[in-house]
Structure formats: structure tokens, C-alpha cells
Chain A
Amino acid sequence: MNRLDRQSFLGPDSDTLLHECTVGLVGLGGGGSHVVQQLAHLGVGGYVLVDPDRIDFSNTNRLVGGTLADVEAQALKVSIAERVIRGVQPEARIISVADTWLEATDDLKRCDVIVGAVDSYKERDQLEGFARRHLIPYVDMGMDVTDLGNNGFLISGQVISSLPGGPCLRCCGLVTDARLEMEAQAYGVAGGRPQVVWSNGVLASTAAGLVVQLITPWFPSSPEFVYLEYDGNKGIVRPHGQMGLLKGRKCPHHPAEETGDPLFDIRKHLARLESRSKVAEVERVPLWRRLISFFRNDCS
């Protein structure tokens, strides 16, 4: 019996397609940790996990897979995600980068899809730009809580599937220069934004569905560009009004000629490969040999 039998409606090759796929996940907090868990259950075989942070006590209201023992050990969020994946798929291909995504670009470039669960407009704008430049589909998710005064609070959010050539987060009106400016002016004063586990779960499930739709669509007319909005007070996810309006439109923000690496320099690339292979050579020498050589050098 195959572990994935009950999702065989995803297509006769779906197990292989999911296994061979590599998904980049940027941000492994309340949103990203849910997505990782679902992709692991689904059978996605490859992961590039990126988050610089360690779990703290205040994350335990929402970080899927995080435990009090992890808080005690100040575990990295990428390590928690890796453990969650290996619990279902011990042989998964995982690259964990406990740093900003800007330090993981070589690995993210090789992903088939990137999922962004990041806090700021600046990050999602640049991450989407990076994905576009390297022709990688990008799925963005975000959640917000708005204070309505006497009317309480409104939980809302959105999930967008942004594909090369199609409408982007700017086309959707989600990223605007005005929002970026407001964020830049509030530099350094950004506090912890409200987050709850069930809303993150709805948005993450929606994002996981969009990832699968890209890899192994299960119905013939699955849309490429998707912009779904979440109203957490009414408990509904529906297509945003912009989704129909933008359908089939070309994005003016990421022109086709802006792809690849315009500053690529073969000399710098070769020098970097050479320095990497030197590091690898050092690592291939057994530890006991390195210790002997160290003491010999030290005593001579």
C-alpha cells in the first residue's frame, strides 16, 4: 500500500511529480510552519528552508511543530521544520539556511516554487522580484488584524499565486510605493504583529493547495494567476475582486527582458566554485588526520 493512495486523484504521475519537486519556503513562523507540514504529508521531496530566527515562548501559540523543549533549547525554526518533514519523509532532500533569504539565493534559484510567508511589504516585494528574475512561480501569503474600535477586530489575509509574466503583487495593489514608504518610516519600531493559529492555518492550507495546483493540477481549467482573500470574521476565502479584472493581463512591473543575472561574471563564478571546492577538500580529510596535522604544525 502506498502512503499517498488517497490522493491519487491528483494524477497518475502525481507521486513522482511531487517527489521530484523542490519548494523554497521563506519564513517558517506561524504561516510557513503550517505549509511545510502539509507539503511533507503531500510527498513533496525537496525543500529549501529559510528563516534566521530561533523559536521563543511567544511563538508557541502558532508555530506548528514547535514544543516547549524547543523553546528551552532555543531551537532554530529551520531545524523544527526539518524535524517535522523528516517525521513523515526521512529521506527528504532538505537544505536549511538559518539566515535571511538573501543569503540563500543560490539554493532558492534552484527551486520549482517559492512560498513566501514574510512579515513586511519590502521583503515580499523583493522576494517576488527575485522569483520573477529566475522565472520561478511565487506563492505569497499574509495575514492582518485590524482594530475596528467599538466593532472589535477584523482578521483578514490573502494568498496570491504570482507567475512569471502574469499579474504581480504590485498589479494586485498589495505592494505599493506608499506602503513601502510607510514601512521605511517606521524603521526599527515594528512590533510583533497579531497572529493566530487558525487563520494562519486557513491561509497556509490555501497556499499549499496552490502549490499542488502548480505541480499536479487536478482539474483542467485550474487558473494560473490566483488572488484569494480571506475574511476571518465571516470565515470565508474567496477570489479577490482584482483576480477577475487582472486575468490575462501582462505585468508591466517585471518585463520579460529582466530575467537572469545581468551582472553574472564567469571569472567571479569560477573563483567562487574554486574556493568552495577547497573547503570541500578540507572537509573530506578525516578529523583524526586534521587533528594530527594541527598538533604537528603547532609543535613544530
Chain B
Amino acid sequence: MDANKEFESIKTLCGAAELHQECGKPVVLLPGFRFKSGGKDLSMDLLLHPSAHTGYVTRLFFREKVAGKGRNWTQHQVLGSNWWAPSWQGVKAEQAWPAILCAHLRGVA
């Protein structure tokens, strides 16, 4: 998996995306990312962790909990600040980063 190549494909979805690193693994900040949840348009900072984190094969972190969506939200410290993630298992790491992002967003759709 070429992190720089994957990051370029994420940038086509979110021009303001930033590539960071946590525990030596790539993490993508998606500032003010727009997505749909329960038929509503939401905009929020997201953090895509396209490799294993806290026992999940990949994770998507949200700046705030998405009201009424997702289950078992837990708080995490990533890149020096606090983020929320629902329990949403099984989004495989062996796929393109945009596909990982979309699969996680289905957890709060």
C-alpha cells in the first residue's frame, strides 16, 4: 500500500485533507468533511485511520458523536486530540482509502 498514492486519491474527495502519522502509521485528517447521515447533510472534521487501531482493522474517527447513529461510541486520543468512534467492525485495510472511508461512513448513514 503506497500511502502517498492513496492520499492523492483521498485529496480528490477532500482537497483540504492532511496526511499525518500516529505510531508510525498514516492517518488522514479530513477538515470539515461533508457527508450524509439520516438524510441530513453534516460537515465535521474526520480522521481516517486506514490500518489497525484499538483492535479494529481500520477506523474512522469523528470530532463529535453523530446523534442517533452508530453504536457504542467511544472516545480516543489520536494526533494529540480527542475523537469519537462508533463500534463498526470489519472494514478491511486491503482496499483503497476512499473505499475504506465510504465503508465507515455507512456506519452512520
Contact = CB atoms under 8 A, between A and B. Distances in A.
Interface of A: 100, 102, 105, 122, 125-126, 129-130, 133-134, 177, 180-185, 187-188, 252-255, 257-258, 260-264
Interface of B: 20-24, 29, 52, 54-56, 72, 75-77, 79-82, 87, 89
A167 to B, nearest CB: 14
A258 B54 contact: no
A296 B21 CA distance: 55
A258 B23 contact: yes
Contact of B55 (A177, A257, A261): A177
A129 to B, nearest CB: 7
A100 B84 CA distance: 14
B75 A184 contact: no
A122 B21 contact: no
Contact of B75 (A102, A130, A257, A258): A102
Given A122-B55, A177-B55, A188-B72, A258 B87 contact: no
B80 A260 contact: yes
Given A133-B80, A184-B87, 16 more contacts: A102-B77, A105-B77, A105-B82, A130-B77, A177-B55, A180-B52, A181-B52, A181-B56, A184-B54, A253-B23, A258-B21, A258-B22, A258-B24, A261-B80, A261-B81, A263-B80
B55 A263 contact: no
